[in-house]
Copies of this chain bind each other. A is one copy, B any other.
Amino acid sequence: MFTTKRVPFTVVFPFAWRSVIIFLVYSIVICTLYSVLDWTFLAVPFVPVATIGTAVAFYVGFKSNSSYDRLWEARRIWGSITNASRSWGIMVLDYLSPQSAHDPAQVAELQQAKKELIYRHLAYITAIRVQLRQKPVWDLHHDVARDVVERIQAFKQCSLDKELSRFLSDSEIENLIKHPNPATILMRQQSAQLRQLRDEGYLSDFYHVDMERMLVEFYNQQGACERIKSFPFPRQYAFFSYVFTWLFIIVLPYGLLTEMAKVSGWHVWLTVPFYTVIAWVFNTMEIVGDTSENPFENSINDVPMTAICRNIEIDLRDMLGEANLPSRLQAVQNILM
């Protein structure tokens, strides 16, 4: 997530420079042919250009809207994960109770179980986060939105076992990463421990069902993230948005030429700056839609999952009464991950 109100030129530049040069060269060539070599047949009426513009407007607008919806839904889900994690915290702490509050062995065992349930939960959200960011949706050579992030050392992502080592023992991790979907298995382990606690009498059936419902809630949120990740914005819409935009950009200078030539001969050269600006504007709209589409890609427009996971960790460990809480994550180069 980008975190300043104004996007500085240094961020816009890597997205723009390549295409702006293309627009400049393309329009200069056309103007030269028209003015110097007098290829007047290059002037084409603006009407067909504007007609293609209609299709562009609809598709680019639709793509931008849908990308934003995907991004916003992803953020909502992580908001729900935060809320449900806090709720998990108070349930673990206040639902579980020893059958006899005077048996110090039971009290200690229960205290240990509570810590396990909360630490395994922190492992769980970490596992979701790493799984979501691990593998890109598309294999692309150039993806500026991702390059910008990967150039920053602080955002280097560790492998799942490294990330989990703060919350789980080595043997648990070793066993976990054999499974095809470690996050799913972590929830399964939560459920098994709840069952065991209930069998041992720490938890009545009634509390048990209520806590199991929280696990169902976590599965729902995990699944919602995986759905956004594994079902990208449908290609039939996204790809033709790209195609129509470039069709428009290719055809545009011929139409502009005509309009400029109506004013005066040398006005034709104004086609170059105006064309470059307009083409940049439409190309930017396309790129904004395109880079906002996938919110879990280790890219500049990601949902700041690492920061959210850290906040949850602070809240839950604070509830456990731990003292040395980690600090909140800060944006690096105005990017919060």
- Give A residues with C-beta under 8 Å from B: 1-7, 41, 43-48, 51-55, 57-62, 64-66, 68, 71, 75-76, 79-80, 82-83, 86-87, 89-91, 93-95, 97, 138, 140, 179-181, 184-185, 187-188, 191-192, 194-195, 199, 204-207, 209-210, 212-213, 215-216, 219-220, 222-224, 226-227, 231, 234-240, 244, 247, 251-252, 255-256, 258-260, 262-264, 266-267, 270, 274-275, 277-278, 281-282, 284-285, 288, 291-292, 301, 303-304, 314-315, 318-319, 325, 328
Contact between chains at A7 and B239 (CB < 8 Å): yes
What's the least CB distance linking A16 to chain B, in Å?
11
- Of B64, B89, B244, the residue contacting A237 (CB under 8 A) is B64
Given contact pairs A3-B235, A234-B301, enumerate 17 new A-B contacts (beta carbons under 8 Å).
A1-B231, A2-B235, A5-B140, A41-B266, A44-B263, A45-B262, A46-B47, A47-B255, A48-B259, A48-B278, A51-B278, A87-B215, A90-B212, A93-B188, A210-B212, A236-B291, A247-B277
Contact between chains at A223 and B55 (CB < 8 Å): no
Chain A residues touching B, majority SS: helix
Distance, CA A235 to CA B68, complexed state (A): 11
- B contact residues around A210 at 8 Å (CB): 209, 212-213
Distance, CA A192 to CA B320, complexed state (A): 12
Contact between chains at A44 and B267 (CB < 8 Å): yes
Distance, CA A62 to CA B288, complexed state (A): 13
Closest B residue by C-beta to A101: B199
Contact between chains at A90 and B220 (CB < 8 Å): no
Distance, CA A301 to CA B319, complexed state (A): 35
Distance, CA A222 to CA B188, complexed state (A): 25
Contact between chains at A188 and B319 (CB < 8 Å): yes
- B contact residues around A215 at 8 Å (CB): 87, 90
- B contact residues around A278 at 8 Å (CB): 48, 51-52
Contact between chains at B199 and A97 (CB < 8 Å): yes
Can you name 22 A-B residue pairings with CB atoms under 8 Å?
A: A7-B235, A45-B263, A48-B275, A51-B278, A52-B278, A57-B58, A58-B64, A61-B62, A62-B68, A68-B234, A87-B215, A87-B216, A87-B220, A180-B315, A180-B325, A181-B318, A185-B319, A188-B319, A205-B207, A231-B304, A240-B285, A258-B263
